[in-house]
Amino acid sequence: MVEIEIDGQLVNAEPGEMLIAVTDREGITVPRFCYHKKLSISASCRMCLVDVEGAPKPQPACSTPIADGMKIHTQNERAKASQKAVMEFLLINHPLDCPICDQGGECELQDVAVEYGSDVSRFSEGKRLVAPSDIGPLIQTDMTRCIHCTRCVRFGSEIAGIMEMGGTGRGEDLKIEPFLAEGITSELSGNMIDVCPVGALTSKPFRYELRSWQMNAIESIARHDLVGSNLYAQTYKGKVKRVVSGDNDSVNETWISDRDRFSYEGLAHEDRLLYPQIKVEGQWKEVEWEVALDYAVKGLKNNILNSRNAQKLGGLASATATTEELYLMQKMLRELGCENLDYRLNVKNLDQTIHLASNIKLAKLEQVDYALVVGANLRLEQPMINHRLRKAQLAGATMNALNVKEFDFNYPVSNTVVSPNQIASTLAGVLKRVLEAKSEKIPEYLSTLTPSAEATDMANTLLGAEQAVIILGEHVLNNTQASSIANLITEIAKHSNSKTLNVSATANALGAQRVKFTPSSTGMNVNDMLNAEMSAFLLLDVTPEYDFHHVNSALSALSKEDVFVVSLNSFGNELVSQYADVILPMAAMYETSGTHINIDHKMQSFSAAVSAPGEAKPAWKILKVLADLLELPGFHYENSAQVLSEVAHQSEVEHEYDSSININENTSAIETIWMHSPYQSDELLRHASSLQASKIGQMNTASMTQATADTLSLKSGDRYLGVPIDVTDAMADQCVFVSSNQATNTGGLS
Amino acid sequence: MISDKAKKQIDAWVAKYPEGRQSSAVMEALKIVQAENNNQLTHDNIQAVADYLDMPGIAAAEVATFYENYNHKPMGKHVIRFCHNISCMLNGADDLIAHLETKLGVKTGEVSKDGLVSVKKVECLGACVGAPMFQIGDQYYENLTIEKIDEIVDGLK
């Protein structure tokens, strides 16, 4: 710590830190355009010039390191004169089109111009004009307004990890633009809108909608992944009009993924359910809430309760639901004497489940020196977790990926590509080498195994690392050896003193686990329910063709003549209409209060930013009233916070699980790994049109090797399970990796 | 896209830089590829160079569009790179460029009808002592006059 003087005021600062960081901390205003706290320093805009005593010229605060005894003036005549001069230059080519510019009202240039700009321009020559370019469905460009701060360029190369924007030409001809005709494709691209200090990059879906001062900004939490990025929903007259990122260094720093930023568009989709509906003699009728609830309660009573047959009732929910909703639903089912409940709808075989702890904090991920990613394409599936790992890699960490396909990480990763049935044996090889190195007893099941060269390398790096993490992802969810793979990772971590991160179930899966939204030993899991003789189902936010692994069995189980189905949904769906008897319209994301539990086990609560459209209600309220009408005790909640406090008072129970390990490569069949494209992972996203139009949203390929294609008698141009095939040698044989924006195709999956 | 011969030449430049810094050879690589491609760099050429040097396309494009050495439109067999910066300008470069344009029947940046010559205005080439000057290929021509220019241009084949 040294002492410096800023505008006559004594301030403590670290030697070497940049002056602008100190002034920001002390609340002293220094204007700037190119400086951004999370980006490298370019010192190109010169707006932050200040007067440093002893320096011959004004110095840019963003690139002037602190030294002991410095005396700085940010407001004296010299500083002001320099800032005004810079402002005049910046405005030479800037069009004064603020009235039609979307940035107007939240524009850093506009704000600074008010204070430092002159009211009359001395520039009478022609201004520069830049032809518009289309860089995709998410970002609107008006590059005539660009002031060349290069924040978007630096964001691309430093944070997004792919340099897509760049400065071409020079001098007056300098243009910021992407090189590729396909425009900007990064999964984090929307942050360029936030960092752009002017109206050059603005939100395309929000174009010409509103002024920033017309909207309320309401703090909220994104619910599409395991991070729960902090953000602001900006609302106007009861509608979410735009989403911008919030600041939380322990969660999402200051970035949010495009998925979190643009999903709100789905809220206004025409398929939203606005009124409760009941099916009378095969005909759907919109009715009052009382009628619908009464109908639901009567149906449940007739089908199960009156005959004291709660074992024939099943409760299924999507993991996107809030913790409170899941808690109320399980409480209601259990009060009815029903133990049949599940959220793991996309798991093929629930005898093979993944039990793996997440015991490293998000913020600590960037400090690891070795990461092994198993079965995940992190960039698309968990963008903010990937961002932390990228930071670790840039700081020198070694990265390994054990996948069925070489995925496009935005940092160097050494890929080990194996077929699905070799993942377990590869990890077993790692475990054997670790145990050997620690001179520990080799268990029976490893005795005859010869670790592969890759496994040996992984073990050596793991043992040499100070802090390693092993990450298990979604692609392993339906592996025939899923539980063994998870158990192997637990063992490896235990013996090598590493951390583990379980990203195999996403959204609010941890909330569902916290409230025990899984059957106890007496109940049935989802797949059991689909195969049993059930009499009634209660469904929370379930979209059958995307959510279930066994889509066909699910549809036939739900569509049976004598099965009474109450379905809570936010969007209309043809299949739901076919099998349901009552459809209750529920509030979607941003329309309900609730809590999301993220990978750090952090409970992040949010309030409703807007109320739901039409007659739709928050699901926790619907469930509460349903429970009241069923005359169940203990549902006297006035708000969701009371529900949460009940959840918080419940102790977390460690689940017993099968820790056995079986590494026999027991199948030679071709395995299909079906992943929805990242913008298809929940109902709101599926209705967000701009995301769907983006390159990631359009992803629809079934990747396989030539050998696999030959075995399946497929050739280029063919489809596999309805998905166009992509023959590549950057993946393993014996498997097909589908990344699709279509509904799950059960052809080869059920 | 890039010939084997050009790749060899590029590799020689890459070898001059530390391992992993192959993108430092981008200027020479662009020059080599341009020479092979009728004095012109297309979008695909730039992407090919970027791919070969394992760098983002836009980063190669930034270099290719910053320097006057690279042409983004079809050029003649010979490119006359005429300096129009201060020393040359004070010594009459503008008149000489106008003469050249009339003589060849082209504007700067265009190709003569026979496809032989293009004229391009460039920034200072560091030969102010011999201003006005231009460059054709690797050769500098200094202390230019109308007569001298006619002689040089008429000699181009």
**pLDDT at A304 > cutoff 90:** no
Please indicate whether, in this complex, the C-beta atoms of A157 and B56 are within 8 angstroms of each other: yes
The pLDDT-based confidence of A700 (bands split at 50, 70, 90) is very high
In three state form, how does the secondary structure of A41-91 look? CCCCCCCCEEEECCCCCCEEHHHCECCCCCEEECCCHHHHHHHHHHHHHHH
Put simply, whether B68 touches A (Cβ < 8 Å) is no
Helices (H) and strands (E) in chain B, counts: 7, 4
- Residue B94 confidence (pLDDT): 95
**pLDDT at A96 > cutoff 90:** no
pLDDT tens-digit readout, A622-638? 999 999 999 999 999 99
Please indicate whether, in this complex, the C-beta atoms of A179 and B65 are within 8 angstroms of each other: no
CATH class of A290-349+509-649: alpha beta
Answer yes or no: are the C-beta atoms of A148 and A142 closer than 8 Å.
no
Put simply, whether A168 touches B (Cβ < 8 Å) is yes
Query: Sign of dihedral through CA atoms A177, A34, A383, A681?
Result: negative
Q: Which of A497-506, A570-579, A665-674, B9-18 bottoms out in mean pLDDT, i.e. has the lowest?
A: A665-674
- Residue A748 confidence (pLDDT): 44
- Residue of A157, A165, A168, A174 best to disrupt the B interface, most CBs of B under 10 A: A168
State the Cα angle at A160 between A223 and A320, rounded to 5°.
10
At which residue do the structure tokens 């011959």 appear?
Answer: A56
Put simply, whether A133 touches B (Cβ < 8 Å) is no
- Residue A209 confidence (pLDDT): 94
Q: What one-character-per-residue DSSP string does A224-261 give?
A: SSSS--EEEEEEETTEEEEEEE--BTTTTBT---HHHH
Give the distance from residue A236's alpha carbon to the nearest chain B alpha carbon, in angstroms.
Answer: 39
Domain A1-88 has CATH 3.40.50.620: no
- Residue A121 confidence (pLDDT): 87
**ipTM field:** 0.86
CATH class of A362-502: alpha beta
Closest C-alpha to A373, from A398, A349, A403: A403
Q: Counting Cβ atoms within 10 Å, is residue A8 exposed (0-12), middle (13-18) or buried (19+)?
A: exposed
Domains of chain A, by residue range, sit at 1-88, 290-349+509-649, 362-502, 671-740
CB proximity under 8 Å: A 244-283 to B: none
Put simply, whether B62 touches A (Cβ < 8 Å) is yes
Cα–Cα distance measured from residue A568 to residue A314, given in angstroms and rounded to the nearest whole number: 14
Put simply, whether A164 touches B (Cβ < 8 Å) is yes
**pLDDT at A749 > cutoff 50:** no
**pLDDT at B25 > cutoff 50:** yes
**pLDDT at B130 > cutoff 60:** yes
**pLDDT at B83 > cutoff 80:** yes
Closest C-alpha to B135, from B122, B151, B148, B150: B122
- Residue A142 confidence (pLDDT): 95
Task: Give me the mean pLDDT over the A347-362 stretch.
Answer: 93
- Residue A750 confidence (pLDDT): 42
Please indicate whether, in this complex, the C-beta atoms of A163 and B58 are within 8 angstroms of each other: yes
Across the interface, which of A165, A169, A170 has its CB nearest the CB of B58?
A165
Per DSSP, helices labelled H in A395-481 are 423-437, 453-464
Domains of chain B, by residue range, sit at 4-66, 78-154
At which residue do the structure tokens 């080439």 appear?
Answer: B125
Who has greater pLDDT, A489 or A746? A489
Average pLDDT, chain A: 94
Please indicate whether, in this complex, the C-beta atoms of A178 and B58 are within 8 angstroms of each other: yes
Please indicate whether, in this complex, the C-beta atoms of B57 and A165 are within 8 angstroms of each other: no
Looking at residue A681, its amino acid is S
- Residue B120 confidence (pLDDT): 92
**pLDDT at A342 > cutoff 70:** yes
- Residue of A152, A157, A179 best to disrupt the B interface, most CBs of B under 10 A: A179
How far out from the chain centre does Cα B34 lie?
9
Give the distance from residue A158's alpha carbon to the nearest chain B alpha carbon, in angstroms.
Answer: 13
At which residue do the structure tokens 């496994």 appear?
Answer: A455
Determine what percent of chain B is predicted with pLDDT higher than 90: 85
pLDDT tens-digit readout, B34-65? 999 988 999 999 999 999 999 999 999 999 99
Residue B87 neighbours by CB under 8 Å, 6+ apart: B124, B128, B131, B132
Across the interface, which of A162, A164, A170 has its CB nearest the CB of B66?
A170
- Residue A746 confidence (pLDDT): 59
- Residue A743 confidence (pLDDT): 86
Residue range B78-154, CATH number: 3.40.30.10
Contacts of A179 in chain B (CB under 8 A): 43, 46-47, 56-58, 61
Give the distance from residue B86's alpha carbon to the nearest chain A alpha carbon, in angstroms.
Answer: 17
Put simply, whether A180 touches B (Cβ < 8 Å) is yes
- Residue of B45, B62, B68, B70 best to disrupt the A interface, most CBs of A under 10 A: B62
pLDDT tens-digit readout, A399-430? 999 999 999 999 999 999 999 999 999 999 99
Cα–Cα distance measured from residue A722 to residue B53, given in angstroms and rounded to the nearest whole number: 38
- Residue A345 confidence (pLDDT): 95
pLDDT tens-digit readout, A97-114? 999 999 999 999 999 999
pLDDT tens-digit readout, A656-671? 788 888 888 666 789 9
Across the interface, which of A157, A169, A180 has its CB nearest the CB of B65?
A169
Query: What DSSP state is assigned to residue A207?
Result: T
Please indicate whether, in this complex, the C-beta atoms of B46 and A179 are within 8 angstroms of each other: yes
Put simply, whether A162 touches B (Cβ < 8 Å) is yes
Q: Which of A197-206, A355-364, B107-116 bottoms out in mean pLDDT, i.e. has the lowest?
A: B107-116
- Residue A135 confidence (pLDDT): 94
- Residue A17 confidence (pLDDT): 94
- Residue A650 confidence (pLDDT): 84
Residue A439 neighbours by CB under 8 Å, 6+ apart: none
Contacts of B57 in chain A (CB under 8 A): 179-180
Put simply, whether A572 touches B (Cβ < 8 Å) is no
What are the tokens at A320? 């996107």
Please indicate whether, in this complex, the C-beta atoms of B58 and A166 are within 8 angstroms of each other: yes
pLDDT tens-digit readout, A71-95? 999 999 999 999 999 999 999 999 9
**pLDDT at A278 > cutoff 90:** yes
Cα–Cα distance measured from residue A91 to residue A104, given in angstroms and rounded to the nearest whole number: 15
Put simply, whether A199 touches B (Cβ < 8 Å) is no
- Residue B68 confidence (pLDDT): 85
Nearest chain A residue to B62 by CA distance is A168
Q: Counting Cβ atoms within 10 Å, is residue A235 exposed (0-12), middle (13-18) or buried (19+)?
A: buried
What are the tokens at A648? 């918080």
pLDDT tens-digit readout, A204-260? 999 999 999 999 999 999 999 999 999 999 999 999 999 999 999 999 999 999 999
Cα–Cα distance measured from residue A686 to residue A547, given in angstroms and rounded to the nearest whole number: 12
Cα–Cα distance measured from residue A571 to residue A272, given in angstroms and rounded to the nearest whole number: 4
Cα–Cα distance measured from residue A503 to residue A374, given in angstroms and rounded to the nearest whole number: 10
